[in-house]
A and B are shown apart, each in its own frame.
Chain A
Amino acid sequence: MAGLLIRHAREERRVKPFRTSGKSVRNTLGIITIALSMLAGMPVLSNAMTPTAAAAAVQDQDDWKKEFEDICSRTGDSLSLSSGELKVLVDRCDALKPRIEKLDGTQKKVYLNRLQKCRDLLAFVLESMAGK
């Protein structure tokens, strides 16, 4: 019985070689396609940004600027803030600095300088409160 089955299978392979290989080619292509899609999603292997990655980069740029504006808009009324609030703002400045350091050229220089001024003033007000 087993011998009969094996012989039938061999005959099937001989008679219908293309049908069998076509299926395997389709299967192979499908696996390759899925693999490539997964690899394209990995940023290490993709030099060109996919639309999703580009949008994420823009989002990140907007985020650091929003954070910068949120922190440094408080310098005007820094005298009315509590020491706890000032400490949080100073810490946020320190957390934001590495993100600005990743920028290029003049934008990095200008915003690092602005952030430093903002941080220094908040730290100054905090210190003056501690001294009272």
Chain B
Amino acid sequence: MKKILFLLMFVLICSGIVMAQTGLKKKRPLAADYGNVVLNNFSEKAGFSPVVFQHWVHRVRFTCRLCHVDIGFAMKAGATGIKANDNMSGYYCGTCHDGKRKFKGVDKMFAACSKKLTAEDGKRCERCHSLGKNVKREYDFAEVTAEFPKERLGNGIDWEEAEEKGFVKPIDFIEGVSIKRPALTIQKDFSLNAKVEGMPSIIFSHKKHTVWNGCEVCHPEIFIGVKKGSTKYSMVEIFDGKYCGVCHGKVAFPSLDCQRCHLDPVQG
């Protein structure tokens, strides 16, 4: 009995020490894994591993707007409800992954999903249906992003600077899918006062956001207020995945990187 009690105490003390070190926080993902989305509406039911969608390999080539507006992917994992039939019909992933489409540096995009499965198709399926599998990726994150401007958090890449300096030239138009439209009217930057005294105000740049998102990604689905100052944003809500937090903390740089947004010097 004494031995059992002693063992129990020992286990409890050790657990306490471990938790004190790591806490209950979510583990920070590796730079290459930041922005990965797991999709499992139908995969396991159909006998496949869930899909691991890598945002980084797609944002190197395409704008957020192209996928989330023109192709129609929802902003929340699993909300689109993609099925193999959709892909085979040329929608969603199948818009590009049709076995035919060419992009710069890619002779032929691999086809997503097939009606009949051969042994070779199995390998192709695993390119996407890869959760829990040790799949060798075609594009290595470190190699592709070696020359990109670096940042502290998220993917460790300053995507904004990468786009500005031409390291990435995201495509915003796909023939047969996108609509030809005139150039976007860019709005001026504006500042938002921080609630906490002593905290620099936020300088929000429409230009930096519209390069990737256009207007429709954010308005009105994420930012519904039409008048500046009508909506009060709190960091609690942002960290909870609302407003800026829809993207920042999931795909775009995390909101933990305060000085990326809180740029306006505090007036003395």
Residues in A lying within 8 Å of B, measured CB to CB = 68-69, 72-80, 105-107, 109-110, 113-114, 117-118, 120-121, 123-124, 127-128, 131
Contacts and interface: CB of A to CB of B under 8 A. Distances in A.
22 contacts: A68-B179, A69-B180, A72-B181, A74-B181, A75-B214, A76-B215, A77-B181, A77-B183, A77-B184, A77-B185, A79-B185, A106-B86, A107-B91, A117-B69, A117-B221, A120-B216, A121-B215, A121-B219, A121-B220, A124-B220, A124-B224, A124-B226
A101 to B, nearest CB: 16
Interface in B108-140: none
B220 A120 contact: yes
B193 to A, nearest CB: 20
Name the interface size band of chain B: 20 to 34
Contacts of B89: 105-106
Contacts of B214: 75-76
Given A114-B72, A123-B220, 11 more contacts: A69-B179, A72-B179, A74-B181, A75-B214, A75-B216, A77-B183, A77-B185, A110-B91, A120-B221, A121-B220, A124-B219
B232 interface: no
Nearest to B226: A128
Q: Which 3 A-B pairs have the closest CB atoms?
A: A128-B226, A124-B220, A76-B181
B69 A114 contact: yes
B72 A113 contact: yes
Nearest to A68: B179
B70 interface: yes
B198 interface: no
B23 interface: no
